[in-house]
Amino acid sequence: MGIFDGCLLASDVDGTLIASGYLPPENVEAIKYFISEGGKFSISTGRSAGAVNQVFRIFDKKLTSYSIVLNGGMIYDFQGEKSVFDMTVSEKVKEFTKYIADTDKSVGIEIHSGGEVYVMNRNSETDLHEEYEELNPYFVSFDEVKDYSWNKVLMAGFNNSERELRAEKAKNFGLKDNEILNTCAAILGEDRLYLELLPVGASKGEALKKLREIYDIKEGGLFAIGDYYNDLSMLAVADISSATGDAPEDLKQKVNYVSKKCRDGAVADFIEYLKTILEVKIDGRNKKERA
């Protein structure tokens, strides 16, 4: 038996597993060790399933178990290339998206539907995001996609105060708090701010609960690491959680362990910490059994 039998580690991607396209080699070796000791490794990202293909150019997807994409809107089997579970946004989200598209032309809008991405109100920020994640979007009007199943809407092209203003507009429009999520990606050395609209109840935390059920993860064996506020629900669900050294200070206060910075091998550092914790527990149990 390996020390990680019955365990699952969920890791955010951008800013946690990889840093602006750089994958610390120690992360790969540590993940391989984690798996060899019986653990399951899942990525947990706001990216769509298709957008993760860029990551798999530098990270072997065979190392992943079922994983979380679209900030919890979908659980995806990358090895089988199929959705295991997904959720769609409400009609109210669609109505609000149309309202923004019609009245706020400065805001870029991406609609994620299954493996496809559709763009309305194209701007420099959506162009940059699509280049960074190597998306191949369709440029459409609302009427062309209104009847599709939407898994996520991403809005881009504003500073923090402008993003908060749009979030407040969404609430006034009738969207629920758990349909609105602030996210961020470091692209070209600069934090890019996004407002995401999700299915009711979708979050990395709720998706992680489903993974726990799917894999029958043992009590105390659910682990998670992230670097931003959209990871909070996942970190709260985990039995042992970690924030990277790059994470906001208030997020670091909510986890069990603060790891190294992303570029220095945050995931590897967390796995080493988990190994130490579990070895102590196993050693303590063995001593009790011998007594």
Q: Of 159, 134, 161, give the one whose Cα is nearest residue 21.
A: 134
Domain of residue 275, residue span: 8-86+202-290
Is 3 part of a structural domain of the chain? no
Number of domains in the chain: 2
* 182, 197, 212 - which closes a domain: 197
Locate tokens 């920020």: which residue?
A: 125
- Is residue 213 one of the residues assigned to a domain? yes
| Residue 132, pLDDT score | 87
Phi, psi of 6 (to 5 degrees): 75, 15
- In terms of domains, do 30 and 65 share one? yes
Q: Are residues 210 and 73 in the same domain?
A: yes
CA dist 175 and 186 (Å) reads 27
Shared-domain flag, residues 173 and 138: yes
The pLDDT score that the predictor gives to residue 199 is 96
Residue 41 covered by a domain: yes
Within a domain: 237 = yes
Q: Give the model's pLDDT for residue 286.
A: 45
- The answer as to whether 242 is a domain residue is yes
Tens digits of residue pLDDT in 91-147: 999 999 999 999 999 999 999 998 899 999 999 999 999 998 889 999 999 999 999
Q: For residue 146, what is the domain's CATH number?
A: 3.30.1240.10
Q: pLDDT at residue 289 above 60?
A: no
Whether residue 173 sits in one domain with residue 111: yes
Would you state the pLDDT for residue 283?
Answer: 57
CB-based contact 178:203 (threshold 8 Å) = yes
Whether residues 113 and 133 share a domain: the answer is yes
Assess contact for 50 and 184: CB atoms under 8 A.
Answer: no
* Cα end-to-end span (Å), the chain: 22
DSSP string, 141-189: -HHHHTTSPPSEEEEES--HHHHHHHHHHHHHHT--GGGEEEEEEEETT
The verdict on 215 and 270 lying in the same domain is: yes
Which spans in the chain are helix H?
Answer: 25-36, 91-103, 124-132, 142-145, 160-173, 204-215, 232-237, 249-252, 266-290
Task: Output the average pLDDT for the chain.
Answer: 93
* C-beta atoms surrounding 98 within 10 Å: 16
Residue 227 tokens, joined: 């670097």
215-243: pLDDT as tens digits: 999 999 999 999 999 999 999 999 999 99
Task: Write down the residue that tokens 């190994």 correspond to.
Answer: 275
In a domain, 136, yes or no: yes
Q: Of 179, 197, 215, which residue is a domain's last?
A: 197
User: Of 170, 197, 224, which residue constitutes the final position of a domain?
Assistant: 197
Q: Given CA atoms 190, 69, 93, 238 in this order, what sign does their dihedral have?
A: negative
State the CATH number of the domain containing residue 252.
Answer: 3.40.50.1000
**For the chain, give me the number of helices (H) and strands (E)?**
9, 14
The answer to whether residue 281 scores a pLDDT higher than 80 is no
Residues 75, 114 within the same domain: no
Task: Report yes or no on 2 lying in a domain.
Answer: no
Q: What is the pTM of this model?
A: 0.86
Residue type, 96: F
On whether both 138 and 270 belong to a single domain, the answer is no
| pLDDT, average across residues 141-166 | 96
Residue 291: predicted pLDDT: 33
Question: Which residues sit opposite 77 in a β-bridge?
Answer: 82
Give the pLDDT band of residue 190 (cuts 50, 70, 90).
Answer: confident
**One domain for residues 285 and 260:** yes
pLDDT surpassing 90 at residue 50: no
User: For residue 207, is it within any domain?
Assistant: yes
**Is 164 in the same domain as 96?**
yes
Do residues 269 and 260 touch, judged by C-beta distance below 8 A?
yes
Query: Residue 145, Cβ neighbours under 10 Å: how many?
Result: 19
Same domain, 96 and 192: yes
Do 184 and 210 sit in the same domain of this protein? no
232: left (phi over 0), alpha (psi -120 to 50) or beta: alpha
243 within 8 A of 225, measured Cβ to Cβ: yes
